[in-house]
Structure 1
Amino acid sequence: MGLVVKWFFKDNPVPLYQWVAGHVPMVHPGPFSERLDVEYEASEDADHKHSGLRILNPTVDMSGDYKCQASTFDLELEIPRKLVVYSKPSNVEIWTQEVGDDSVRVYCKVRDIYPEPEVTFHMMSEDESDRSKLEGVDVVKTWDDNLYHAMVEVLVKEEELDGPTHFECEVTIPHTQVLVTNKTHYEPRAKVGAGKDDMVSGSEDHSAMAVVVSLAFLAIWRF
């Protein structure tokens, strides 16, 4: 059969791992030389026993594209695989700041995450039955100590809000199931002008009613 299995990392033409059926696996010198488990058995079948790759204590620098090359005397196959070693964010913070008389700016800060995250904003009704994605978001990402950080913000007109609103910051890592969210509650401000008009109208109505009642009482007294 002559089965030979080789594992490659990214574009390196030198395999990091090689196994010839019936022999002990070999690890080539390099950053993986102390991190691969040569005793790992992917199957009890002798023809597949050491075909798998097991990395001990993987770190973020080992993320990337891998390729398994299996060959025999008659056939050769290549199978790509992607490995994502990720770090969840240490903190996702969201808050709002009123801008002028008619707008609110929503902020979200994400700390210590890897690899580069995707951050989106959503707006939802108080009972969360109506949820929509916010557009026009500004994102600034930085890199420090092998981790990403992000500051995200968006400006929303209060006229677009239908009463009390939840703003949600959603953080995801591509090619993983990582999903971290945080949200904040916002109460739209009342229109000051409309409030005054309502108060004046109410006072006038109250005064007119008092006059009518007084006149009616006077008429009864005179009778």
Structure 2
Amino acid sequence: MNWLLVSVITVLTVALFKEVNCLVLTEIEGPSLVVIEDENVDSIPMNCHFKVEEESNSLVVKWTKDNKVVFQYIKGHGANVIPEFRGEVKSLSSDPNDEESGILLLNPTIETSGTYKCNIQTDKKTISMDKELHIIDIQNYTHTLQHKRIQNETHLECEIANVYPKPTLAIQTFNGEQIQIIASDVNLLDDGKYQASAIAVIRTEDDSTDEYQCVSMFNGLSFNLTTNIISGSMSFRRPEWSHLLLTVLIALVTYEKFSY
């Protein structure tokens, strides 16, 4: 009796395992982060790797971006881009009956950022997988760090413009020690990019040379921008002192000339 019960359970387990695993979605192949530095940006491939372990009467591969359908393949009917997204998306394969049915994201812009989902459906099972695609656009960006010495304090002002997504600014010493930000501002520009600024103040006891950095970060992404500045003795940096030195030199030359 026990032998019969074990046999029945084994058969049911194998049948259930086979049913559950008739469709396997392994990965979405494609980048998670793309940096746009100029107009020469390549199209972005996104490929959905899956296996249909059993013969199926139907197969639908559907791609969505932020829950909006952009592309679908239907077995027996081929692949089609949803009309709204033509010019932005096309099939990765030149064969319209290719069941792999990856997509190619054309002319990437900041609008290409989003959550892409590959949805696979047979007559027995449906399975899906998400992939986040982040676009960082730094075309024509500017990134500056300026300083001003006021008595025994150094005032540091960082500004970045024409970047996407929204940046977070940090001002620090060259060794990575964070300097407290006392004021900051972020503005959304008309083209969807951002401009941001931050001001920090550090106490300086003497005129020794120090190097500071402004680091612009993007929502925890593994990419940042850094600009440096050296702040030291202001004696020969401030315009008024330069003008005074020039005046003294001219006076000395004039004196030497007329003394003979």
Common fold: TM-score over 0.5: yes
Deviations 1:50-91 (A, max 9, x none): 1x2211102212211222211112221121111222211611
Aligned residue in 2 for 1:135: 180
Letter in 1 for 2:223: V
- Once superposed, what is the RMSD of the aligned Cα atoms? 2.7
CA distance in 1, matches of 2:108, 2:158: 30
TM-score normalised to the size of structure 1? 0.69
TM-score (norm 2): 0.60
- 2:70, 2:89 within 8 Å by CA — same for their partners in 1? no
Match of 1:80 in 2: 130
Query: What does residue 36 of structure 2 align with?
Result: none
Other structure's SS at 1:61 match: helix
Displacement after TM superposition at 1:184 (Å): 0.4
Check the 8 A contact 1:84/1:175 in 2, yes or no.
no
Q: How does 1:61-210 map to 2 (within 5 A)?
A: 61-88=111-138, 90-99=141-150, 101-124=151-174, 130-144=175-189, 145-159=191-205, 163-174=208-219, 176-187=221-232
Equivalent residue for 2:89?
36
Change (3 A) 1:153 1:67: same
Q: Deviations over 1:169-189 (max 9, x none)?
A: 112333644322110001167
Structure having the higher strand fraction is 2
- Alignment partners' CA distance in 2, 1:84 and 1:142: 20
Cα deviation for residue 33 of structure 1 reads 2.0
Q: Report the Cα distance in structure 1 between the residues aligned to 2:219 and 2:125, rounded to whole angstroms.
A: 34
Gaps of 5+ in 2: 1-55, 236-260
Contact kept, 8 Å, 1:172 with 1:180, in 2: the verdict is yes
How many Å separate the matches in 1 of 2:86 and 2:180?
47
Correspondence for 2:72: 18
**Are the aligned partners of 1:158 and 1:188 in contact in 2 as well (CA < 8 Å)?**
no
What residue in structure 2 maps to residue 196 of structure 1?
A: none
* Identity between Structure 1 and Structure 2 (%): 19
Report the CA distance shift for 1:146/1:71 in structure 2 as closer, same or farther (over 3 A). Answer: same
Alpha-carbon separation, structure 1, partners of 2:220 and 2:98 = 32
Greater Cα shift, 131-140 or 107-116: 131-140
